[in-house]
Chains A and B, each alone.
Chain A
Amino acid sequence: MIEPLLVSVYILVLAIFVGFETITKVPPLLHTPLMSGTNAISGITLVGALISAGAGHSTLSTVLGLLAVIIATINVVGGFMVTDRMLEMFKKGKRKNQNR
């Protein structure tokens, strides 16, 4: 039983390092889309919710699972859509009289 758990701990630690490395490179310009985007990613709990809702174990599990599916889907769909809406607005001007 201990081995798969240890593998998961390995994955957790390595993923945290990857997260640090990639996210420190995001410029302050994009910090709001970064936050709403990662916010949507944290809705990955949806995967767990799907299993709870669909396993058909007991009414209580199913109801809790269904609630979790709805809530996590709002998080995922809303988060990604608003991020896309924001990123669409970031445009480079046509004017080229800037020196910097």
Chain B
Amino acid sequence: MNIIITLAYLLSAILFILGLKNLSSPKTARRGNQLAMTAMLIAIVVTLTKNEILDFTLIIVGLIIGSTIGAIIARKVQMTSVPQMVALFNGLGGCASALVALAEYNRLAGELRIDVIISMVISLFIGAVTFTGSLVAFGKLQGVIRSAPLVFKAQRFLNILLFTLFLIMGIIVTINPANSTCLLAILAIALILGILFVIPIGGADMPVVISTLNSCSGLAAAATGFVLSNNILIICGALVGASGFILTRIMCRAMNRSIANIIFGSVGTASANSNSNDKRKVNNYTEEDASIMLEAAQKVIIVPGYGLAVAQAQFALQELVTLLINSGVDVCYAIHPVAGRMPGHMNVLLAEANVSYDLLFDLGDINDDFQNADVTLVVGANDVINPAARSDSESPLYGMPILNADQAKSVIICKRSLSPGFSGVDNELFYEKKTLMIFGDAKESLNKMIKLLKT
């Protein structure tokens, strides 16, 4: 029987890996996700045949309650809110791992091997940190908690103190596994540390935070695998851990920051210091000018930013693009890696508005194309097109990979106001001769352009 269970877990692991492999292309991605679902189902069913399990009623009740809540959330959630949903689910994953560690501690009390107790401590710690950290991230993204960084004196000192305390408690529990007070102390420390880690990080850095927490939820599952000596947990945990780590690295690179800088730097409190003293003129144009330019253009590249999603203007944008394509204009989208609240978020928002994915290009693939474009249409983006990132070594943005929007013959920018982006840096491009600024709500501006183009 044990052989069959082990082989079934192997099959499940293979399906998980094939599922992830299929995510490498939008054509096969949906099948990949279904393969992963099948893998999960196999793992669950096989586990239920284990003879350790005596009572099924509670399990069935738990599965039904969990599935119902999960299905309702997954159906109701709006695409703009996917980041906070993923944050919440990361937290749940971490919480479940911590709970399993506690339950196993209670079950195996007295006969704990040293490797099992160490894994338990790790699983409990990472799981609990992920749980509260994710709840704070969820609160910030949802707007329940102020998204601005909350920094107070001695924050770093407190973090180091708590972490040292955790290490001491961990050693005590390892030496004397019967000491349950210390284990509960570890839980309390981890819950507090999770909050302290995320609270000083601003809303703009959330893509990095979610990716890191994603990685942590995987690591917690892997640690639980060591507690239970269960290889499928170890394999899945490792896959998720690796995935979260890669995404964290990509996001850090796209924002030109190191992970240490994000955790300790708390950028976002930076005051806008450069734009008050010089009152330069911008070229304030109307939607009419823009629609005339768009109509006359042969090649248009669109740069959407998070402002587009805030204004719920992705559907209006798609209507405008369809009009342009039908009148023979070559249109495509340039997507910056951080154009959204989580990695790849903008692509999902545009896919929801029925934008074909072969019109979506990422930074590396499209950047050389801007010089051939007649018009760049920027909607709700700022820092990701700031030329200072290329040229001004004094700028905090310097070195950040940007979209070369300024290399097109002319640039139309739809924006609420001249206010600087998350970095607090003024954008030179706004004052250039070839730039047409259109101030106002993105959705209204786009709708006006659509009307003008139709006539």
List chain A positions with a Cβ less than 8 A from chain B.
1, 4-5, 8, 11-12, 15-16, 18-20, 22-58, 60-62, 64-93, 95, 97-100
Q: Is B55's beta carbon under 8 Å from chain A? A: yes
Q: Count of B residues near A, CB < 8 Å? A: 118
A39 to B342, CA, bound (A): 13
Q: Is B306's beta carbon under 8 Å from chain A? A: no
A18 to B104, CA, bound (A): 29
Hey, which chain A residues are within 8 Å of B362, CB to CB?
27-29
Q: Which residues of B, 422-440, contact A by the 8 Å Cβ criterion?
A: none
B226 touches A8 (CB 8 A): yes
Hey, which chain B residues are within 8 Å of A67, CB to CB?
99
B100 touches A30 (CB 8 A): no
Nearest 8 interchain pairs by C-beta:
A73-B66, A93-B356, A19-B242, A31-B344, A77-B70, A69-B62, A78-B70, A54-B53
A64 touches B37 (CB 8 A): no
A41 to B13, CA, bound (A): 11
A13 to chain B, nearest CB (A): 8
A46 to B325, CA, bound (A): 48
A86 touches B79 (CB 8 A): yes
- Report the nearest B residue to A87, measured CB to CB: B30
A48 touches B233 (CB 8 A): yes
A81 touches B23 (CB 8 A): no
B92 touches A75 (CB 8 A): yes
A27 touches B44 (CB 8 A): no
Give the residue of A4, A35, A60, A88 whose beta carbon is less than 8 angstroms from that of B30: A88
A73 and B65 contact, Cβ closer than 8 Å, known pairs A35-B211, A38-B218: yes
A22 and B33 contact, Cβ closer than 8 Å, known pairs A29-B344, A86-B82: no
A26 to chain B, nearest CB (A): 5
A91 touches B351 (CB 8 A): yes
A32 touches B82 (CB 8 A): yes
Give the residue of A16, A18, A64 whose beta carbon is less than 8 angstroms from that of B102: A64
Q: Is B272's beta carbon under 8 Å from chain A? A: no
Give the residue of B27, B54, B63 whose beta carbon is less than 8 angstroms from that of A56: B54
Q: Is B71's beta carbon under 8 Å from chain A? A: yes
A52 to B373, CA, bound (A): 61
A34 and B100 contact, Cβ closer than 8 Å, known pairs A64-B106, A92-B357: no
B119 to chain A, nearest CB (A): 9
Best-buried of A20, A44, A82 by chain B (most CB within 10 Å): A44
- Report the nearest B residue to A23, measured CB to CB: B243
Interface string of B205-233 (1 = CB under 8 A from A): 00000110010011011101111111111
A28 touches B347 (CB 8 A): yes
A12 touches B222 (CB 8 A): yes
A47 and B30 contact, Cβ closer than 8 Å, known pairs A65-B103, A75-B96, A82-B74: no
Q: Is B47's beta carbon under 8 Å from chain A? A: yes
Q: Is B259's beta carbon under 8 Å from chain A? A: no
B351 touches A90 (CB 8 A): yes
Q: A19-B20, A37-B20 are in contact. List 20 more A-B contacts (CB 8 A).
A: A15-B239, A18-B238, A25-B21, A29-B347, A41-B218, A42-B220, A48-B104, A52-B103, A53-B58, A53-B103, A54-B54, A55-B52, A55-B107, A72-B92, A77-B70, A77-B74, A91-B351, A93-B358, A95-B325, A98-B330
- Report the nearest A residue to B115, measured CB to CB: A5
A32 and B103 contact, Cβ closer than 8 Å, known pairs A40-B40, A69-B63: no
Q: Which residues of B, 97-143, contact A by the 8 Å Cβ criterion?
A: 97, 99-100, 102-104, 106-107, 113, 115
Q: Is B332's beta carbon under 8 Å from chain A? A: yes
B366 to chain A, nearest CB (A): 9
Q: Is B93's beta carbon under 8 Å from chain A? A: yes
Q: Is B85's beta carbon under 8 Å from chain A? A: yes
A62 touches B58 (CB 8 A): yes
A15 touches B238 (CB 8 A): yes
B343 touches A28 (CB 8 A): yes
A32 touches B230 (CB 8 A): no
Instruction: List, sorted by A's number, 8 A–B pairs whose CB atoms are closer than 8 Å.
Output: A29-B360, A38-B243, A41-B240, A47-B47, A48-B100, A48-B104, A50-B48, A77-B74
